[in-house]
Amino acid sequence: EGPRQRRRRAALRRVRRPRAMAIRSPARRPRRAGPRLAVFAGLGAAICHYSRPGPAYNVKGNWEGDPARLRGALKGDFAEVVDGLRPTIKTSGVKFSNKDVTLALDGSDDRFRLVAGYSKKLDNGAAVDFSMDNDKVWSATFTGRDSKLDITGAGDDFENLNWEATQSGAVDGVGDVTLRVNSDREVNVTIARDGLAKIAGANVDARVEASRSRGIRGRVAAQRKFKGGGEAQYSMENPIGNYDFAATKHRASGRMPFADGRLEAWAEGDAESQQGRAAYVRHAAGGEATASMTYRNGDVGYNVSFGRPLGGKASPVDAKGLVGLDEDGIWAGVVANKDFGHGWRGALDVAGRASLREQAERQARGSVKVANKLGWAELSQTTGQDPKLRMGYEFNA
């Protein structure tokens, strides 16, 4: 082989090597691109999910104590306040879902748990749901058009499963029937019939619940509406397994327009205990006046009150005043709210009471609160007690 042939062969090798590398290099890249694309696709799906509106975390902390205890903070010692404002975190919205599969973080800083779930809709309106947490506690629900089966368990301990099966449907001439059977061998049948009868213009409904272990409970209810906006309701129900009429609980209520106002009343009880309230409410002098009387097991009370907004519609402060008289004395209060703008708002709540008895007692309480979207501070005091300062913060992320 002469020098000329050797130079030609070397030139051919220099030309072929780049071509060979050009052919092999694209062949390697597609094999590596698959996993990379899968990783980026998963990250993209997670980012898209987390960017959906709605809070995932709730973070809050608060401190409460005597305002004098803040003297240390004014001197640069923030240990007590900072320790009290340590955050507590609660989450229920950290969730990744992909069609039928869900992975969620739930709980608070005392104990977080990871929950995996599977949900699938089947034909004819049926569905199956399954979830399990990191403690291997699981639950499964099978739902049909008129039936449902709930099962709960832990790990592979199938001997101690808890389950309940429900079957419901409408039976002509009987009503809506629901059958419940559970793992404790409890059998429960409920029959409900709306519009059972119409007596004196009132619609009558009935409901009967029968339990194999506890007995039978029945309830009858009647409702009627009158011309002019009045209405009345009455019901009677026995405790399950107790058929003594003295134990039957009765409840009656009603309301009707009267003298430019309205009358409201309700009463309930059995042979041993009764309670009720009757009231007349009327708008007057730009506010609302209420006169009421209460009854509870022989004790009778009364309350006459009047409340109205303070200031006009153009007032920068939203305030309302209340004054009243009851069996314990005279009472009054003022509640005011102010929006300062830029997310800041303030609130004032002052109330007092004076007794009409021989040994007159006076009580008063007041609080001032300032808050924004991140935190709040409230100073309050009650008669006979030291002032109290509460500070805190809470936000959703």
**pLDDT tens-place string over residues 219-230:** 999 999 999 899
pLDDT at site 44: 39
| Distance between CA atoms of residues 131 and 137, nearest Å | 8
Amino acid at 348: L
| pLDDT confidence band for 60 (50 / 70 / 90) | confident
Q: Phi first, then psi: what are they for 374, rounded to 5°?
A: -100, -45
Instruction: Give yes or no for a contact between 140 and 129, defined as CB atoms under 8 angstroms apart.
Output: yes
The share of the chain scoring above pLDDT 70, in percent, equals 82
Of the candidate ranges 71-75, 282-286, 295-299, the one whose mean pLDDT is the lowest: 71-75
pLDDT at site 33: 41
Instruction: Give yes or no for a contact between 168 and 184, defined as CB atoms under 8 angstroms apart.
Output: no
| Distance between CA atoms of residues 94 and 124, nearest Å | 32
Amino acid at 169: G
Task: Specify the pTM.
Answer: 0.70
| pLDDT confidence band for 72 (50 / 70 / 90) | low
pLDDT at site 190: 97
| pLDDT confidence band for 397 (50 / 70 / 90) | confident
pLDDT over 70 at 232, yes or no: yes
pLDDT at site 50: 41
How many C-beta atoms surround the C-beta of residue 149 within 10 A?
16
pLDDT over 90 at 147, yes or no: yes
| pLDDT confidence band for 347 (50 / 70 / 90) | very high
Instruction: Give yes or no for a contact between 329 and 357, defined as CB atoms under 8 angstroms apart.
Output: yes
Q: What Rg value do the Cα atoms of the chain yield, rounded?
A: 36
Alpha helices in the chain (DSSP H): 3-50, 71-74, 79-84
pLDDT at site 7: 47
pLDDT at site 93: 63
pLDDT over 50 at 12, yes or no: no
How many C-beta atoms surround the C-beta of residue 207 within 10 A?
19
| pLDDT confidence band for 54 (50 / 70 / 90) | low
